[in-house]
Each structure stands twice: as structure tokens, then as C-alpha cells.
Structure 1
Amino acid sequence: MLRIFTDTAANVPPHLLEQYHITAMPLTYLLDGQPTELVGHDYYEAMRKGAEVKTSLVSPALIRDTMESALKDGDDVLYIAISGGISGTCWSAELMAEELRGEYPDRMIRVLNTCGASLGEGLVVLEAAKMLEKGCTADEIIRQAEENCGRMRQFFMVDDLKYLRRGGRISAAAQVAGSLLKIKPILQSDPEGHIIQHSKVRGQLKAMETLAELYKEYAVDGTRTVGIAHADCPDGALRLQAKLRDAGQTGEILSVCYEPVTGGHVGPGTVALFFFGEVWR
């Protein structure tokens, strides 16, 4: 039997993890240097008040132990991971997988770099889990997951430029100018899964219109599930959902609050859009 693993950066809601028997290994985070259980509004409100976030990848030892528990049960392993372009988790998982392949030569152990995060990773995970539930083979599931990674489009608006500044993605001068002009950067994933700038617009309303326009430009099937992730910005998420419907999206829209690790890097107020288009990477 194939077992599907991912990490908490995939932003898959707990009820779906349970429904599809997916194991999500935790990335960890500190708030002002201390462990915390804050999530959602309380977490992002702490960030707005100046709390500093530090994040860590999934422990390699935990990855190994979790995978090995499945292998000992006679199962094969597929770990669908956060982008190797923004986290070392994927590469740690591959190192652990290589060790385990030597110890369990009769078992399949596969680590898939999604080049995505949040629902850019999570939608790939969910499609794989649904295929497993339908009785598809491991080869079929892996082949489709690889294709879905190549189809995944990820665009997002950040509300406050200071979080990008902390991550070294913009200059201090650009942060000041952008804040004064209410500039909202639209970012995207590049072919290797790094975050790069797509464009800049003025104001949240224009940003949501731009995200919907990008969906209309790149989506190829309006019935496929779309993902929206927001960092304590439910009004922006609802506005984007309405504009997606106007743009011809008729399928399921899975909307979630950003989990703390990836959300801690983009900052409160961020709204992100994830959908499948043509294969582009």
C-alpha cells in the first residue's frame, strides 16, 4: 500500500488530512524567541504588533522516523514536499529517503519537490490522495502529481512590504515608497519554486482584480479546484472568490488561513491564489 506524506506548509485543513489519511509533518516556529501555539487571527495580530517570527524546517530525524514507521508496516512512501526553492525540508527528506532505500530495498520511497507552498503544495497532495482512494497505482499517482506540479500557478498579494524587507526581497527605500503609495506587490513562483515579483498595483481591490485576471489568463479548466490562502484577511479572500466566479471559475474553491510558517514570511494581510494551468515547468 502507498502512504502519502506531506508537511504542514501544505496548508491542508485537518479534516481533509483525516479524511484522506494523509500524514503532515510539522515545520516549527517561534514568536519572539518562544514556542507558541498561536495560529490564525491571534498569530497575525501578534505580528502586526511587532512580534518577530523565526521558522525551522521539519526535523530530519522526524522525517526519517515517520517514513520508517510506514516502511516497517510494509507500505511504500510518497512524500509531497514544500518547494526546495524556499525551504531545506525537501532536501532533508531526500537525504533521509536515500538512507532508507538502502535499508528497505524492496520498498518504494519517493520525495516530490512541488516547487510550491501553502495550497500550491496542498492541492497536489489532495489530488494524489483522491487518486489513491480511487485505487490508482503508485506509478499513476506519482506521474499525475509530477504533472500537477508542472501545472501549478501561484500568485499572491502582500499587504505590508516590511515582511518582504525582513526577508531581503526588497530594499528599504522600496519599502518606504511602496508603503506611502499603498503599493501591493503581486508575487509568483518561478520554475524552481523561488518567489519573484510579477507586478505591482495600487490598493487591495486592484490586487484582487489582478489575481482574477491572472486566473482567467492561465487557467485551462474552470471546473478544477482552486485554492485561496489568506493571512488573516478574510474580506480579501471573499472578494477574490467573487471575482474568480466572475472570471468563469465554477469548481470548488478551497479557502484557508495561511498556516504560521509560510504566513510568517509573507505577513498578515497577504492573499494568495493557487490553480492548475498548462504545463509550464
Structure 2
Amino acid sequence: MRYKIAIDSCGELLDEWKNDERFETVPLTLMVGAEQIIDDETFNQKEFLKKVADCPECPKSACPSPERYMKAYDCEAEHIYAVTLSSELSGSYNSALLGRNLLLEDHPEKKIHVFNSCSASVGQTLIAMKIQECEEAGMSFEEVVATVEHYIKGQHTFFVLENLDTLRKNGRLSKVKALVASALKIKPVMGSTDEGNICQLDQARGMNRAMIKMVEQIIEKTPDSEEKVLAISHCNCPARAQVLKEAFQERMKTGRIIVLDTAGVSSMYANDGGVIVAV
């Protein structure tokens, strides 16, 4: 096996990766009240959303241990990569680095690189796709690392949420701002900074207008769109994701558009009805 890609469970897997030994999900743990839920192939989105809605406490997540990452790296692949959600949002990146260092103590010959996505969700998916593309093109390990790190610097992630409760409860949005937004039905258009933090880009009254604003932001920030793959993930709203896809097809040229359902961590933050776009 020439390469392996480990993606923490904030990133969504393409269907063709799910039975491919070159791809592995490293699960985070989700906590809803006193219940712990492993974010792996057993995750049930509808059950999870109901538990979150019924629980007065804010859902939380815990990153994988260094030992869990070490286990993912301990394989026969010549080149090993990890893709984690932004180090500004989780300890997953640092845990992945520690796992790498632990394995290298016993196997210093291993070639392992950890990518800080500076993103989340389908942003991570696109990074894994880029790694695969580079590997399939026959690039050396060092060339793959340099090419993908450059790709990450040019990537942008955007999202609009129907429900702001999780962001507010986790301190990503002030209580006053969230309450005013909810009362006036204002939906912020959010994005990622270069460092991987969350920022507000725009806002609109109502979900449909907010999605239009998000499309405009994406078109403005993606001048070379015909060379890009655009990815959409949605939390329990496939029709909304389809509307977005059609809007992009009408208004900008892209190399490819993929649509995925959010995995556990992304579902926790996006909440029911949220949509995320990365390009």
C-alpha cells in the first residue's frame, strides 16, 4: 500500500473511501449530557439531533487520543497522512502530532505528515481528495506535502446555520448577538479565517437570503473556480443542499461539485438545517 490517509471524524468521507483500506476515520467523542457517543460508522444523525434538541446542556466533543492516531499510523503504507479539523477549534491536530511523534520513536523511518486543515467538515474532505490526487499522480512524499499545504492556504470554508444555539453555547457567537439574530430571523453568513478561526462575513433575514449571500461571497472569493472542486455538506436538509448546488452550477464554473451529509462533529455544530461549503 503506497499511501494511507487518516481523517478525523469532523471530515466527511466519500462513499468510495468507506471500504478502501487507504482511508480511515479517527473518531472524536460527542457528549450530550451524560451520554458519550463515538463518532464512527455507527453514528445516527437523526437520533443525535433529537438528543441534542431534548438536552438542556450544550453538546460537546472530545478529540481522539494520541494513541488512537498512533494506531492509525501503524500500517504498511509508505506515505501516511492525517487531516484534522482546524487547530483553532479542536485539540485534534495536536493529538495527531503527538501520535506521530510516538510512532516515530520506534519507527523513525516512517514518513508521516499531519495537515492542519484550518477548516472543518468538507474542507477536510477536499484536502484528502487533493492528497489522493497527488499520490495517484506519482508525486514523492515531499511533493505531496508541499502541494497540499499550498492548497490549504488557498482554500475557503463558508456556512449558514438554521439554529445558532450550539455556536452560542460553545462561545463562538455572543449570547446577545445570537438572541437578536434569532428574534429577527437574521442568519449570519460565516466563514473561516486564514488561521482557521470562525468569522462572520455577512448576514441576511431568512435562510434563503443568507444562502444567496453565501453564494455571492463564494463567487467573489473564488476567481479560478473552473479549476476547483466545490463541496457542500448539509445537516438533514438535502433539498437545501440541492438548491445550493444548482445555484453554483448556474452562476459559476467549477471542476466538480460534491454533496455529502454531515458526520457527527459537523452535525453537532451545523445543527439541524445547517449547510457548509468548501472550495
Q: Does 1:230 align with 2:230?
A: no
Larger mean CA deviation between 99-108 and 182-191 belongs to 99-108
**Structure 1 residues 74 and 122, CA, compared in 2 at 3 Å: closer, same or farther?**
closer
Give the counterpart letter for 2:157 in structure 1: Q
Which residue is equivalent to 2:22? 21
Please tell me whether the aligned partners of residues 44 and 231 of structure 1 are also in contact (alpha carbons under 8 angstroms): no
Which residue is equivalent to 2:33? 32
Larger mean CA deviation between 242-251 and 192-201 belongs to 242-251
Q: Deviations over 1:112-144 (max 9, x none)?
A: 111111011110111211322332221221111
Which residue is equivalent to 1:252? 256
Please tell me whether the aligned partners of residues 158 and 270 of structure 1 are also in contact (alpha carbons under 8 angstroms): yes
Measure the CA separation in 1 of the matches of 2:123 and 2:205: 25
List runs of 5+ in structure 1 lacking aligned partners: 276-281
Measure the CA separation in 1 of the matches of 2:100 and 2:17: 25
**Structure 1 SS opposite 2:226:** coil
Which residue is equivalent to 2:215? 212
2:149 maps to which of 137, 146, 150? 146
Please tell me whether the aligned partners of residues 10 and 122 of structure 1 are also in contact (alpha carbons under 8 angstroms): yes
Which residue is equivalent to 1:279? none
**Structure 2 SS opposite 1:152:** coil
Q: Does 1:177 align with 2:180?
A: yes
**Structure 1 residues 51 and 241, CA, compared in 2 at 3 Å: closer, same or farther?**
farther
Measure the CA separation in 1 of the matches of 2:29 and 2:249: 35
Give the counterpart letter for 1:164 in structure 2: L
Shift in Å, 1:20: 7.5
Please tell me whether the aligned partners of residues 233 and 277 of structure 2 are also in contact (alpha carbons under 8 angstroms): yes
Q: Does 1:243 align with 2:244?
A: no
Measure the CA separation in 1 of the matches of 2:44 and 2:152: 28
List runs of 5+ in structure 2 lacking aligned partners: none
The two structures have a TM-score, normalised by structure 2, of 0.89
Q: Does 1:54 align with 2:60?
A: yes
Measure the CA separation in 2 of the matches of 1:28 and 1:146: 27
Which residue is equivalent to 1:6? 7
Shift in Å, 1:154: 0.5
Please tell me whether the aligned partners of residues 187 and 198 of structure 1 are also in contact (alpha carbons under 8 angstroms): yes
Give the counterpart letter for 1:252 in structure 2: R
**Structure 1 residues 78 and 171, CA, compared in 2 at 3 Å: closer, same or farther?**
closer
**Structure 2 SS opposite 1:199:** strand
Larger mean CA deviation between 105-114 and 10-19 belongs to 10-19
Which residue is equivalent to 1:278? none
Measure the CA separation in 1 of the matches of 2:219 and 2:205: 20
The two structures have a TM-score, normalised by structure 1, of 0.89
Which residue is equivalent to 1:65? 71
Measure the CA separation in 1 of the matches of 2:253 and 2:51: 35
1:41 maps to which of 27, 30, 46? 46
Measure the CA separation in 2 of the matches of 1:108 and 1:102: 12
Give the counterpart letter for 1:168 in structure 2: G
Q: What is the aligned-residue identity percentage?
A: 24
Please tell me whether the aligned partners of residues 208 and 239 of structure 1 are also in contact (alpha carbons under 8 angstroms): no
Measure the CA separation in 2 of the matches of 1:207 and 1:124: 26
Matches within 5 A, 1:110-125: 110-125=113-128
Measure the CA separation in 2 of the matches of 1:238 and 1:23: 28
Give the counterpart letter for 1:62 in structure 2: R
Please tell me whether the aligned partners of residues 215 and 244 of structure 1 are also in contact (alpha carbons under 8 angstroms): no
CA RMSD of aligned residues (A): 2.0
Measure the CA separation in 1 of the matches of 2:166 and 2:251: 30
**Structure 2 SS opposite 1:18:** coil
Q: Deviations over 1:23-71 (max 9, x none)?
A: 221112133322444423343244334475231101221111221x22x
Give the counterpart letter for 2:49 in structure 1: Y
Please tell me whether the aligned partners of residues 9 and 264 of structure 2 are also in contact (alpha carbons under 8 angstroms): no
**Structure 1 residues 38 and 93, CA, compared in 2 at 3 Å: closer, same or farther?**
closer
Measure the CA separation in 2 of the matches of 1:165 and 1:190: 19
Q: Deviations over 1:57-108 (max 9, x none)?
A: 01221111221x22xx363322122211111011111122223323222222
Shift in Å, 1:184: 0.4
Q: Deviations over 1:143-189 (max 9, x none)?
A: 11101111111011111122221111223222221111111011111
Please tell me whether the aligned partners of residues 63 and 90 of structure 2 are also in contact (alpha carbons under 8 angstroms): yes
